[in-house]
Structure formats: structure tokens, C-alpha cells
Amino acid sequence: MPAPTPAPTPTQVPCPHCGRPVEWSAASPFRPFCSKRCKLIDLGDWLAENHRIPDSGDPLDADQPPAEEIWPTH
């Protein structure tokens, strides 16, 4: 009789806020966060603009005219 296959170990990731290990499965409803508290703290940091996605360059393209020329306000 073959030996039973052991159950796979669930993947664990660190909580982005506090670093505690979080099981990456349906058993962890706030993943990748360990708790609702850490999830809300992270959301607050985004809303306060403490986290930002880096900008790769000038917001206006050199070949595009300013918005005022495209859509006059008068």
C-alpha cells in the first residue's frame, strides 16, 4: 500500500503593514494583510498620499498642445 501524500503546506506571505505571516488562502479574508486593521491603515496611507506610484516623466507630452488650446474655456 503506497504512503498517503502529505497535504501541501499553504503559501505564507508577510503582511505589507506589520510583517506578520499570512496564509495565502480563502481562510485569510484580508490577504495579503493579516487583519482588517492593517488593511485599513494601508488604505489610509494611500488616501493621505503617503504611498505613490512613481511617475515616469513629464505629465504633458511635448507633441500635445496644452488643454486650453484643445478645449477653450470661453
Q: Report the Cα–Cα distance between both ends of the chain, in Å, rounded.
A: 85
User: Which contacts of 66-74 are long-range, i.e. CB under 8 A and separated by 24 or more positions?
Assistant: none
- Chain segment 13-68, per-residue pLDDT in tens: 999 999 999 999 988 999 999 999 999 999 999 999 898 887 776 665 566 666 66
| 11-51 classified as CATH 3.30.50.10 | yes
Tell me the CA distances in angstroms from 56 to 1, 45, 53, 61, one per residue in order. Answer: 61, 22, 9, 12
pTM (global) more than 0.75: no
How far does CA 70 lie from the centroid of its chain?
35
